[in-house]
Amino acid sequence: MKKLDIYSYILCIISALLILYCLIFNPISWIVYAIAIICIPLLVLSFGFITMAKAKKDEEEERREEPFIGY
């Protein structure tokens, strides 16, 4: 679970930096479209992984005893 958390933070930071790059430096339009198509969904996905990876206090013991099987 720690690897997922680390990768999610890395994806979140990279996506945010690329989106900020497009807003600040105003590159060619096809670069903006490519970054928007790739980075905005990755940003949302990484936020989802970050919030999902954090366990509540009452769920910590349950997660150690049995693996995550999905919803």
Quick: pLDDT tens for 10-55.
Answer: 989 999 999 999 999 989 999 899 988 998 999 999 888 888 767 6
Assess if residue 16 is contained within a domain: yes
Asked whether the predicted pLDDT for residue 7 surpasses 70, the reply is yes
What confidence score (pLDDT) does residue 24 get?
92
pLDDT value for 5 = 83
Q: Residue 67: pLDDT above 90?
A: no
For the entire predicted model, the pTM comes to 0.70
| Distance between CA atoms of residues 44 and 64, nearest Å | 27
Residue 60 is assigned to a structural domain of this protein = no
Residue 27 lies in domain: 2-53
The pLDDT score that the predictor gives to residue 52 is 78
Domain count within the chain = 1
